[in-house]
Every structure is written in structure tokens, then in C-alpha cells.
Amino acid sequence: MDRRQVVDLGEYGEAFRRDPHQVYARLRAAGPVHRVRPPDADASYETWLVVGYEEARAALADPRLAKDGAKIGVTFIDQQLIGRHLLTTDPPQHTRLRGLVARAFTMRRVEQLRPRVQRITDDLLDEMLAHEGADLIASLAYPLPLTVICELLGVPEMDRTEFRKISTQVVAPTDPEAEHEAVVRLGEYLTELIEDKRCAGPTGDLLGDLVRTTAEDGDRLSPEELRGMAFLLLIAGHETTVNLIGNGVLALLTHPDQLAALRADMSLIDGAVEETLRWEGPVENATIRYAAEPLELGGVRIERGEHVMIGLTAAQRDGVRFPAPDRFDIRRDTRGHLAFGHGIHYCLGAPLARLEGRTAIATLLDRAPGLALDGPHGEWLPGMLMRGLRTLPVRW
């Protein structure tokens, strides 16, 4: 590939935000890896974008592609304000952090949340179904995972409305200044919350447990690491699931044959959730990686220090891996999809996201047999990180 050839994704305008799949399909047809300029990026910024499935899977697990920008001399103000976490570290630091967090965030803990997730879903639907129509994002998709993760971590209820505003600016910023301000405010808030947990003694919530978690060798999370982990768990723990629920309901309502199949056999709910993760997953592209040394990927030479963006959305519509990839099929074999990543950075919260997605969609369909779209949905979120809707009007 000619390294001088750069695809300016901004030239596609709003069409790229509405439907990036067509653009990714054209790129895949030309090759699995491309040099691109993201929309709204600085005119001088370029990154490699991986759009092929096999290349994306390999890149996600390649230790030469670092998550820690310091390895190539890159530092970000966000890391200084928030702290290091699983998405900004590599082994051995990543191994240590994940081990400490995994001690508190266990499968058993997630499974114990099942009755509470169902109760929150039921309460939200009681309120929503008392009306003739609603915005599904505001009424169910957003408050469910937000309430669950805030209760899990021990965020006071009075703080959750403000937290929602801040977190949205972090993952889908309207402008760089607003994003920076949101990160500053969130960093200050988490510092105070962690100190409250430290002074309060055992609280029984995940953040309180993380404050006190100790490995066999006596290792513990530092205050900065605690803040970084709280940031990651709060943001990633609800923003992604919002999109999973919203995207899943939209997919079903725009594919009546699949909706009918699911209503006829609710044992297909797991397949519906997994196909949503593949077909319109909540994370469009993995966070940036940095070439710590030269490497070749998909026939392209990537030099040390260059940035690499791995296209999860693009890879999961690769027809070589998933036949008829643009077809939404809840009976499809989705094994190997990359919605939660692959390798050592595989999403720690995947079991919780699946639990919330299954519970929300299954309960909604059970209680709203006449569920339908109520006009066009809202715009898709800006940027290339998240893939989700701002609003989804529905009626029943």
C-alpha cells in the first residue's frame, strides 16, 4: 500500500456517522488496513485503521501494539487527571491491575446482581409503560446500566444525574473543551468519593472493596490507580450497555422477521444479544494502540510510534468470517465476535453487560407486546469510539 495515500473519513460528512458500514465495506474491499484521518481530527493527525476481521483479531492480541503511550513518548492530560487503568497499561502493570480488580469484581458478584437487575428493569418499565410512548434510551437503556453500576460501585443516588452528564461528554464529546472540563470534574469527584470510602470503613460495594483489596504479597491499588479504575468501571460499565440495549431494540424493530422469531421462542434471547453485539456493537473502534516497534499487519508496514485504531464494527461485518455479514440473524453462529475485544484486554465487564442486555430486552418484549418505533430515531453519537443512539422513540 502507498503510505502517502490517506483516506479522509471527514469527507463523508454526516453519512459516515449515520452508516459507517458502507464506508468500512469499501475499505475492506481495497485491503484490511488503511491510513486514515478521522472525522473532526486535527488536519495533521493520521492513524492506521484495521478493518479486516483476522487482522483486527491479531492486532488486539499483539504485544507490539501498546496501550501505554509513554512507550513512544506520548502522554495525555486525561491520564494525569484520572490515573492509569486497564486501557492505558501493558504487562506487567496491566497484569497486576487486572489481578487486583478481578479479586473484587468476580463472576459470583455479577451473578448475585441478577435479581437486582430484574427489579430495576421492572421498576423502569412500570414508569415507562404508564405512558403511550417514550424515548427508550432515556426511559430504560440509560438508567438501567447507570443505576446498576452506580449501586455496584457505591455512587450515591444524588450524584447520578450529574454523573450522567459528565460521562456522556467523556465518551462522545461535543468539543475538546467540553471533554477536558468533564474529565477534570470527574477526576475531582472520584477523588472525593474514594476518600469517603476510605474513611467510612467496609461498605460492601465494589469501590469500597477495591480500596481495601490486597494481593498475597501485600500489593494494593494506589490512590491514582483507584481513581483510574473507578473511572474505567463507571464509564465503560454503563455507556457501552446503553448502546447494546438501544442498538438491540432498534435492530429487532427494523427486522420484524427476527422479532417474530424471538417472540415465538424467547430461548433465542442470548442469540439476539450476541448478534446485536456483532451486527451493531456498542463500541465502534477500540481505543488507540501505539506501535512500540515496527511491525507488518495486513501487508502494511507500521513504523514505531505510529497510531493504530482497530475497527470492531468494521471487522464484524467481514464476510470472510461472517457470511452475509450485513444480515441481522439471531440464529447466527456469532462465536468469535470482537465486541468485547480479544486477548488480555478482553472486557472485564462482559458478563454484566450480557446480563443487563438480556434482562432489558427480554422483559421489554414480554411487557410490551405491541412495541414499535414511533417515528425516526435520533442521531448517532459523534466520534469513532461509541456506536449508539441519542434517542429511540417507541410506542406500544
User: Could you read off the pLDDT of 24-75 as tens digits, one per residue?
Assistant: 999 999 999 999 999 988 889 999 999 999 999 999 999 999 999 888 887 7
Return the pLDDT at 386.
93
- The residue extents of the domains of the chain are 7-395
φ and ψ of 301, to 5 deg: -85, 125
Kindly state the percentage of the chain with pLDDT values over 70.
Answer: 97
- Per-residue pLDDT, averaged over 361-386, amounts to 95
Q: Which superfamily is assigned to 7-395 in CATH?
A: Cytochrome P450 (1.10.630.10)
Higher pLDDT, residue 265 or 183: 265
Q: Give the three-class secondary structure for 309.
A: strand
| Cβ neighbours, 10 Å, residue 349 | 22
SS (H, E, C) 26-63: HHHHHCCEEEEECCCCCCCCCEEEECCHHHHHHHHCCC
Among 145, 89, 156, 76, which Cα is nearest to 117's?
Answer: 145
Amino acid occupying residue 308? V
For the entire predicted model, the pTM comes to 0.93
Among 118, 119, 138, which Cα is nearest to 128's?
Answer: 138
Largest distance between two CA atoms of the chain:
60
